[in-house]
């Protein structure tokens, strides 16, 4: 039971990573590798700040801001510097590695004996692992509501339109470069937040904790889509968190089967690859007749269907 | 005579400028467009029709010359800023609409063309009756598909939507770049008819590229023919009325 509770709590904390990645990967429609640098950066900044005596709330906010700055750099390289997004992300991600080492001074800092967002009386009075469940749930709800509301504003609609059809967005006077930069900033801010929360929950920050992060974020998004199928934009935001929890369950099962934690990145990649290939398998094996729900048209598929 | 709404002075563009492959695309275009003009633009492939539109639209820089709108120079104004007074419909139905957004969401985006988009709720419900009304003018069932993602529409519906989006907020200048070329003949004629009605009704100023000589003669009050980056024929009013398809054929044979 406690393993399941722990998995749900982790699912919420990592779900924020998925939501952040959703903004760039699904809405703006490009893969942002900066994630691999901003997730550990959020952790590093937060833990380093806390160990220097900064309050956990302030340290977490600081992590968000630094994440946004990294997103801004990627955005500027991509839009103003005309560097392809994949490369721009890799450049910033690589730079972040050194910066994270600078911030922490060493490759690993522990929060042992220090304050964190999880060390308050209310959370500590809860049963084991319920601290990350309740705090994670609270933050996920806040983030999801704010984002859902944002996407319904005129600015949010312009943001969605930029990812959907750049040419059109431009011809309607939308500043697509600003939209992309904004998306990268918010996305990486959220990802740094996720890193800060995971670090506080785990009790340490490690410079290598960013490796394979993008696969975990994508897995949350794709699992959510595979399980829940066609949804509205708001529902899709919620589906990402559900996907993140389901992904934690998959990891739990895998670990119960006797795999070690060292195998997790391999497993993550396999899970993601299988989910990505599922639509193709379905078509090839004519499984559509048996599975009513599911990924009817996953989003990268942008071809125009004639009305039927 | 009234002042021109759009004026091109000696507009010249190059490709591969300052290289041995340098080539002029537009060779000193001079054009005055007056309010209410509906100009059909003819020209063979490579004559510079699309380049002309791109320089007016602002997604291609002018190398020499000037562009003026209402006597104000806009030669170096960004594409985004020009959308305040200018709108376009592209040839490719995919370019004019956002496929994952619904018909009404697309219209809402277009209603804010060139305007500030802030953190204000979009107010879609409030606009639905208006959207219903304007899509009804298209007579292609678009009014029943307001909540359908634009990517699921037929090509004809999608292009009709693009046209509505370009005119929902009245543009000072409307550029139609062969907007019916990708459609079947019947749908194409229907959309052209609707285009013509809308332009007359709203007294829009419009330039329309077409490859159909019949359409070029049938629609608009003025006709220009581009050839090798220059305006070869520019006829207005009665002179255009007298022009026959044979005259045009004769020109194109030369």
* pLDDT tens digits along A39-59: 999 999 999 999 999 999 999
**Contact indicator for A303, B153 with CB cutoff of 8 Å:** no
Distance of CA A129 to the CA centre of its chain: 21
What distance in Å separates residue A182's CA from the closest CA in chain B?
Answer: 13
pLDDT 10s digits, B163-210: 999 999 999 999 999 999 989 999 999 999 999 999 999 999 999 999
Q: Does position A303 have pLDDT exceeding 80, yes or no?
A: no
Asked if residues A27 and A187 have their Cβ atoms less than 8 Å apart, the reply is no
pTM check: above 0.95: no
Chain B residues near residue A168 by CB distance under 8 angstroms:
95-98
Q: What does the pLDDT look like over B105-147, one tens digit per residue?
A: 999 999 999 999 999 899 898 999 999 999 998 878 899 999 9
Q: Is A164 on the interface with B (CB under 8 A)?
A: yes
Residues 206-245 of B with CB under 8 A from A: none
What is residue A293's predicted lDDT score, i.e. its pLDDT? 47
- Report the distance separating Cα B16 and Cα B36, nearest Å: 36
- Cβ within 8 Å, pair A154-B112: yes
Asked whether the predicted pLDDT for residue A242 surpasses 80, the reply is yes
pLDDT at A284: 79
pLDDT at position A190: 98
Calpha distance B163→B159 (Å, rounded): 6
The residue of chain A nearest to residue B153, with distances taken between CA atoms, is A307
Looking at per-residue pLDDT, the higher value among A182 and B214 belongs to: A182
Does the beta carbon of A166 lie under 8 angstroms from any beta carbon of chain B? no
Contacts of A156 in chain B (CB under 8 A): 122
Encoding tokens for residue B164? 């509505």
Distance to chain B for A176, nearest Cα, Å: 9
Buried b (16+ CB within 10 A) or exposed e, B157-176: bbbbbbbbbbbbbebebbbb
* Domains, chain B, ordered by start: 6-97+156-253 (3.40.50.300)
pLDDT at A292 over 80: no
B residues 150-169 lying closer than 8 A (beta carbon) to A: 151-155, 157-158, 165
């Amino acid at each position: 039971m406690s393993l399941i509770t722990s998995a749900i709590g982790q699912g919420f904390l990592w779900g924020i990573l998925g939501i952040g990645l959703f903004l760039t990967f699904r809405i703006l429609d490009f893969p942002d590798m900066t994630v691999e640098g901003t997730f550990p950066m959020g952790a590093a900044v937060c833990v380093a700040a806390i160990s220097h005596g900064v309050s956990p709330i302030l340290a977490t906010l600081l992590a968000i801001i630094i994440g946004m700055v990294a997103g801004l750099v990627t955005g500027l390289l991509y839009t103003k510097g005309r560097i392809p997004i994949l490369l721009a992300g890799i450049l910033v991600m690589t730079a972040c590695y050194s910066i994270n080492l600078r911030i922490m001074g060493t490759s690993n800092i522990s929060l042992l004996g220090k304050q964190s967002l999880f060390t308050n009386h209310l959370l500590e009075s809860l049963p084991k692992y319920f601290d990350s469940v309740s705090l994670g749930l609270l933050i996920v709800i806040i983030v999801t509501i704010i984002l859902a509301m944002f996407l319904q504003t005129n600015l949010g609609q312009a943001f969605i339109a930029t990812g959907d059809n750049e040419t059109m967005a431009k011809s309607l006077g939308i500043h697509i470069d600003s939209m992309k930069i904004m998306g990268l900033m918010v996305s990486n801010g959220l990802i740094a937040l996720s890193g800060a929360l995971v670090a506080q929950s785990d009790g340490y920050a490690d410079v290598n904790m960013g490796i394979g992060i993008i696969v975990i974020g994508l897995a949350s998004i794709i699992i959510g889509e595979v399980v829940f199928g066609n949804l509205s934009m708001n529902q899709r935001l919620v589906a990402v968190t559900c996907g993140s929890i389901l992904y934690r369950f998959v990891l739990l099962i895998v670990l119960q089967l006797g795999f070690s934690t060292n195998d997790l990145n391999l497993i993550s990649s396999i899970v993601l690859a299988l989910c990505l290939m599922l639509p193709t398998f379905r078509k090839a094996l004519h499984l559509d007749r048996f599975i009513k729900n599911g990924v009817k048209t996953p989003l990268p598929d942008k071809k125009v269907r004639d009305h039927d | 005579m009234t002042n021109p709404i759009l004026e091109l002075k000696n507009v010249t563009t190059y490709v591969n400028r300052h290289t041995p492959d340098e080539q002029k695309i537009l060779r000193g275009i001079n054009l005055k467009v007056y309010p209410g003009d509906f100009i059909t633009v003819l020209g063979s492939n490579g004559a510079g029709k699309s380049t002309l539109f791109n320089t007016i639209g602002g997604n291609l820089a002018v190398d020499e010359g000037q562009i003026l709108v209402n006597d104000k120079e806009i030669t170096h104004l960004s594409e985004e800023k020009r959308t305040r007074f200018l709108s376009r419909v592209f040839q490719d139905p995919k370019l004019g609409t956002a496929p994952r957004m619904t018909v009404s969401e697309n219209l809402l985006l277009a209603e804010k063309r060139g305007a500030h988009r802030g953190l204000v709720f979009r107010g879609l419900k409030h606009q639905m009756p208006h959207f219903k009304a304007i899509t009804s003018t298209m007579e292609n069932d678009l009014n029943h598909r307001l909540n359908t993602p634009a990517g699921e529409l037929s090509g004809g519906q999608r292009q009709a939507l693009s046209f509505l989006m370009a005119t929902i907020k009245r543009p000072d200048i409307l550029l139609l770049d062969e907007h019916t070329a990708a459609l079947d003949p019947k749908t194409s004629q229907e959309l052209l008819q609707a285009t013509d009605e809308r332009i007359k009704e709203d007294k829009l100023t419009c330039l329309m590229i077409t490859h159909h000589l019949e359409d070029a003669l049938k629609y608009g009050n003025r006709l220009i023919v581009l050839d090798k980056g220059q305006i070869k024929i520019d006829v207005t009013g009665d002179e255009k009325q007298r022009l026959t398809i044979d005259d045009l054929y004769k020109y194109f044979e030369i």
